[in-house]
Amino acid sequence: MHEYDDAVLTCFLNNQSQLFPEDVADSMEEAEAFLEECMAVVVDSAEDVIAYFEEAGIDMDGADEESILEASEVFDVGDGRYLIVEG
């Protein structure tokens, strides 16, 4: 089970509209339950985001780091970490 701290949950709550047309969570508890349900992953760096997509077999087709980090399922927590949510 993943540990989603307050920074991760706040990031998701504030930015969930980048991935979903309607909010899927209105509180920290709902955000945590949603992230657990879809097995969202927290990684420690941009390099880890790229490695995650490569391991998942997602074809990035020569995409550069910037475009990968701007993918709708990638959330910048703001402290160097990233939350990856596969909707």
Q: For residue range 67-87, what is the model confidence (pLDDT) as tens digits?
A: 999 999 999 999 999 999 986
Q: Number of folded domains in the chain?
A: 1
* Assigned domain for 16 exists: yes
* Assigned domain for 38 exists: yes
| pTM for the predicted model, two decimal places | 0.90
* Assigned domain for 32 exists: yes
CA distance 83 to 35: 10
* Assigned domain for 23 exists: yes
Is the pLDDT score of 2 beyond 70?
no
* Assigned domain for 1 exists: no
Q: For 13-25, how does the pLDDT look when each residue is reduced to its tens digit (9 = 90+)?
A: 999 999 999 999 9
CA distance 59 to 22: 27
* Assigned domain for 19 exists: yes
Phi, psi of 76 (to 5 degrees): -80, 110
Instruction: Give the range of the structural domain holding residue 51, as residue numbers without chain letter.
Output: 6-84
* Assigned domain for 43 exists: yes
CB-based contacts of 77, cutoff 8 Å, min separation 6: 7, 8, 11, 42, 83
